[in-house]
């Protein structure tokens, strides 16, 4: 091994660094952007004389649903404005299909399966693990899904119930699906089954920090393709205002909405309408959301640019990376099967990365070549150190 690298490695080891970039969380300065929410004065009577302090309005306040309609470009009657997290709404969607389903509950289907684009989000994989729904990995390409691979999967598997996608700034590799890719996904999956569910987790719908290619709202694309009965779209304000303390929005057709409402009635009764009103006072339109997100962008952009600069500094001898224009993550792809080794070396130098295994279903990337970098939570100075450590680890593992 190169002596200079080894010296740098030993040097970092002796510094007792403790930097954790395992999760894509906002830094406190980003949370401060929404501090006014904490002090907002609200009235307890909402539109149609609804008392927000009481039960009721299981799909959310009408004014909050209108807001969701504007954000997701879907008719207001197709919107749920909920609470807490989009993951919760996604989980409820899967649970509703599992317990009740459309023609058949998934629990009564032999070996149900779900397609998971890779690399992907570990908390999505956890949902399917919970239900023992078999996950089938599907590679992502620049335009979105690898459609040939999608066709092959559907040709060779029975009981594929659906797919979960992050269509804008995919976690962790940042793809923004093209309209054509999404429409072809609708066509291919509709031929397989009219009940095939496409769950769009649009977690990064408003989270551009650099100019991003145009994308038609997915609900609009579903309308154009006659596919709204297959589509459920979720998003949240977890990374707009406060993690777990924002609003959530979901668009679904009447039948899916009824299914989700049924499950929600058993567990939620009604969403937190106080927080809905508070948010509506704080940020009442899509334009206001986009303006607010520019403030987030100003804080996160320099961090991403720093990572790009650092990764460029070692060229493409050891690997390559995606250059997202939004979202919270960057994926680094090594030329050799060394991702786990890189993680281990980083840990030895005091920098914790997301485990390389976490971005694949069942923790299994047969090529062991992809890693997630989550630059937002730490300060720019910490990020500089983390990236220096990362680059040493990549080069050491590669040369080993
Ligand atoms: C794709 C994706 N979905 C959902 C979430 C979590 O959002 P929420 O808090 O709304 O569940 C994240 C956060 O990292 C994410 O990357």
The confidence score (pLDDT) of residue 2 equals 82
* 398 Cα–ligand 1 center, Å: 32
Joined together, the tokens standing for residue 103 give 């023609």
For the Cβ of 121 lying below 6 angstroms from any atom of ligand 1, the answer is: yes
For the Cβ of 238 lying below 6 angstroms from any atom of ligand 1, the answer is: yes
233 and 364 part of one domain = no
Total structural domains in the chain? 2
Instruction: Please give the Cα distance from 19 to 39 (Å, whole number).
Output: 33
pLDDT digits (tens, 9 = 90+) for 159-197: 999 999 999 999 999 999 999 999 999 999 999 999 999
155 and 44 part of one domain = yes
Instruction: Output the CA–CA distances (angstroms, integers) from residue 186 to 80, 117, 255, 267, 396, in the order listed.
Output: 23, 15, 18, 31, 44
- Domain assignment present for residue 31? The answer is no
Last residue of a domain, one of 230, 262, 284: 284
Instruction: Over range 40-64, report the average pLDDT.
Output: 97
User: How would residue 319 be classed by pLDDT, with cut points 50, 70 and 90?
Assistant: very high
- Domain assignment present for residue 30? The answer is no
For the Cβ of 170 lying below 6 angstroms from any atom of ligand 1, the answer is: no
Per-residue pLDDT for 1 more than 90? Answer: no
CATH code (residue 121): 3.40.640.10
Q: Residue 3's CB: how many other CB atoms inside 10 A?
A: 7
311 and 355 part of one domain = yes
301 and 236 part of one domain = no
308 and 294 part of one domain = yes
Last residue of a domain, one of 284, 312, 346: 284
- Domain assignment present for residue 29? The answer is no
- Say which residues have a Cβ less than 8 Å from residue 320's Cβ, sequence separation at least 6: 332, 333
236 and 299 part of one domain = no
57 and 106 part of one domain = yes
Helix (H) or strand (E) holding 251: strand 246-252
> 333: domain range?
3-24+290-399
pLDDT digits (tens, 9 = 90+) for 18-39: 999 999 999 999 999 999 999 9
275 and 379 part of one domain = no
Last residue of a domain, one of 233, 258, 284: 284
266 and 174 part of one domain = yes
Which residue bears the tokens 């956890």? 126
DSSP 15: T
CATH code (residue 322): 3.90.1150.10
- Which residue's CA is the nearest one to ligand 1's atom 5? 203
Instruction: Please give the Cα distance from 115 to 135 (Å, whole number).
Output: 6
Query: How many Cα atoms within 13 Å fall on the side-chain side of residue 352?
Result: 10
For the Cβ of 117 lying below 6 angstroms from any atom of ligand 1, the answer is: no
User: How would residue 400 be classed by pLDDT, with cut points 50, 70 and 90?
Assistant: confident
């Amino acid at each position: 091994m190169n002596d200079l690298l080894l010296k740098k490695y030993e040097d970092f080891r002796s510094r007792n660094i403790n930097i954790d970039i395992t999760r894509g969380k906002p830094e406190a300065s980003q949370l401060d952007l929404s501090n006014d929410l904490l002090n907002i004065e609200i009235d307890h009577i909402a539109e149609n004389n609804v008392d927000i302090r009481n039960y009721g309005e299981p799909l959310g306040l009408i004014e909050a649903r209108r807001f969701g309609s504007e954000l997701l470009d879907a008719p207001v009657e197709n919107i749920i404005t909920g609470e807490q997290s989009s993951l919760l709404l996604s989980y409820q969607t899967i649970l509703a299909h599992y317990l009740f389903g459309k023609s058949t509950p998934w629990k009564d289907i032999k070996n149900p399966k779900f397609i998971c684009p890779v690399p992907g989000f570990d908390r999505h994989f956890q949902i399917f693990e919970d239900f023992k729904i078999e996950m089938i990995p599907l590679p992502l390409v620049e335009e979105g899904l690898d459609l040939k691979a999608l066709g092959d999967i559907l040709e060779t598997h029975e009981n594929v119930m659906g797919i979960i996608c992050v269509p804008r700034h995919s976690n962790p590799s940042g793809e923004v699906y093209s309209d054509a890719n999404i429409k072809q996904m609708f066509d291919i999956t509709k031929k397989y089954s009219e009940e095939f569910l496409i769950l769009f987790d649009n977690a990064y719908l408003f989270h551009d920090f650099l100019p991003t290619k145009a994308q038609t709202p997915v609900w609009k694309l579903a309308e154009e393709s006659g596919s709204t009965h297959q589509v459920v779209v979720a998003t949240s304000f977890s990374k707009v205002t406060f993690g777990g303390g924002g609003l959530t929005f979901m668009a679904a057709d009447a039948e899916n909405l009824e299914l989700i409402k049924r499950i929600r009635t058993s567990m939620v009764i009604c969403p937190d309408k106080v927080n809905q009103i508070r948010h509506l006072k704080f940020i009442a339109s899509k334009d206001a959301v986009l303006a607010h997100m520019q403030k987030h962008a100003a804080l996160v952009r320099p961090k991403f640019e720093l990572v790009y600069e650092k990764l460029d500094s070692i060229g493409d001898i050891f690997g390559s990376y995606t250059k997202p224009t939004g979202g919270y993550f960057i994926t680094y792809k090594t030329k050799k099967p060394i991702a786990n080794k890189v993680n281990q070396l980083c840990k030895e130098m005091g920098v914790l990365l997301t485990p390389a295994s976490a971005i694949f279903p069942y923790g299994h990337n047969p090529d062991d070549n992809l890693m997630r970098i989550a630059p937002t939570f730490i300060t720019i100075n910490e990020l500089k150190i983390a990236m220096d450590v990362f680059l040493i680890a990549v080069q050491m593992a590669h040369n080993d």
